[in-house]
Amino acid sequence: MNGPFGLGTAPLGIFPDQVDAQQAQRCLERAEELGIRYFDTAPFYGAGLAEERLGAFLAGRDGLIVSTKVGRTVVDTSTTVFDFGRDAILRQFDESLRRLGTDRIDIVYLHDPDDHWAAAIDEAWPALAELRSSGAVGAVGAGMNQTAMLHRFVRETDMDVILLANRYTLLQQYEADELFAACAERGVRVVLGAVLNGGILATGAVPGAHFLYRPVPPDVADRVARIEAVGRRHGVPLVAAALQFAAAHPAPASVLLGAKSAGELERNLAAAAHPIPAAFWAELRGLGLVGADRPLPA
């Protein structure tokens, strides 16, 4: 994960009606051209479609880091299956190898084991550890939308990396502090996902916006509108502030960007490099919209 940003491939699989194979390929190619070297995927993203599209892109390429996930799959448009049993984990891993066209995967995460702690720790985790020992996997971890169980995994296993989604953002600034501290203490790398909180930090407080994949609560909409107002005074787009805030924390080794197209990826990376004056952050702090102790971009 040699760089602040990686590419999350969920949109390339979950939205096949919006993203055809050619568009997905161009998005992946453009990511490589723009210096992205870390690509995250999962069987859940389009019933294996994201993995297949990433695998087609990876053919003949070296030097890229790939992560996928086990434990959660989608078998059709309405059925999601969670299975953290040992046999299921090994079978899913083999299926991912086939779709990705490889015999080794750099990182494998347990995918959202929120309601499956016993199976995840007793069966799935030992299976991943064995795959790591065999060399079939470089690093193992868990990816979740919560901090408590990730913290427990970090304390009770020797996992290498976590993927934390939706819990360290411009709108959620303190939930991950204890988890980040535990990761630093135990040498566990951190990847951040969903730093735009499911859309609202990209779209702003507009009708139809989503926060954590649900309609936006009034207090969140008000907070976003206040941040946007400060941004307008300083010429700072909301998405630029959100991406740079997340990337400024010293804990993450990488921040995942999701994109449906090369153009969307280009816009996100441009926002991540957009100049932000110190006065913008100072005003947010003065209004209580950014914590006084939160790390900020240099």
CA angle, 197 as apex, 194 and 198 as ends, to 5°? 80
Q: Choosing from 38, 45, 109, 168, which is the catalytic residue?
A: 45
The answer to whether the beta carbons of residues 170 and 199 sit under 8 Å apart is no
The answer to whether the beta carbons of residues 295 and 251 sit under 8 Å apart is no
CA-CA distances (angstroms) from residue 116 to 71, 89, 129, 191? 10, 13, 18, 22
- In DSSP terms, 108 is beta-bridged to 68, 140
Measured CA to CA, the distance from residue 292 to residue 289 in angstroms comes to: 9
Q: Give the contacts of 200 (CB within 8 A, at least 6 positions apart).
A: 171, 209, 210, 211, 216, 220, 221, 224
Q: Is 45 a catalytic residue?
A: yes
Measured CA to CA, the distance from residue 241 to residue 287 in angstroms comes to: 15
Q: What is the dihedral of CA 30, 32, 36, 39, to 10 degrees?
A: 100
Catalytically annotated residues: 45
